Structure 1
Amino acid sequence: MKSAELRALDGEALSKKLGETREELFKLRFQHATAQLEKTHRLRQVRKDIARILTVQNEKKRQG
């Protein structure tokens, strides 16, 4: 997910996206712990997506 896409969303949509992404990270971690995860690179991608969402949320909070 790109930052430009996130900046186009409103606060409520960002919060919803953050919840979904955190849930995905939880599921990926669980699969990784049980040795069922084949695409381990997704863990890093999802963590970075969460950081992007939080960054955009903080930017919007500071602006208005």
Structure 2
Amino acid sequence: MKTKDLREKSVEELKAVLDETQLNQFRLRMAKATGQLGKTHEVPVTRKTIARIKTLLTEKEGNGQ
């Protein structure tokens, strides 16, 4: 997901997207561990998306100061 799209979301929406993305990351890790993961590039992409969302949450909540 692009940062531009994420910036348009509210804090509640970002938290929902974060939960969904973390669940997806868990599924990817389990698929990798069992040898069923075909698209290995999705693991780092998902990790970076989670980092983007957490950064935006920090900015929007005002905890970055």
Structure 2-normalised TM-score? 0.93
- Equivalent residue, structure 2, for 1:40: 40
Give % identity: 44
CA separation in 1, counterparts of 2:20 and 2:62?
Answer: 24
Let me know the Cα RMSD of the aligned residues: 1.0
CA separation in 2, counterparts of 1:49 and 1:7?
Answer: 13
How far 1:40 moved relative to its partner? 0.5
Segments of structure 2 that go 5 or more residues without pairing to the other structure are none
Query: Do structure 1's residue 54 and structure 2's residue 54 form an aligned pair?
Result: yes
TM-superposition CA deviations, 1:19-42 (whole Å, max 9, x none): 000000000000000000010100
Runs (4 or more) in structure 1 with deviation over 3 Å come to: none
- Equivalent residue, structure 2, for 1:21: 21
- Equivalent residue, structure 2, for 1:12: 12
Aligned residues: 63
Segments of structure 1 that go 5 or more residues without pairing to the other structure are none
Q: Hey, which of these two has a bigger chunk of helix by percent?
A: 1
Structure 1-normalised TM-score? 0.94
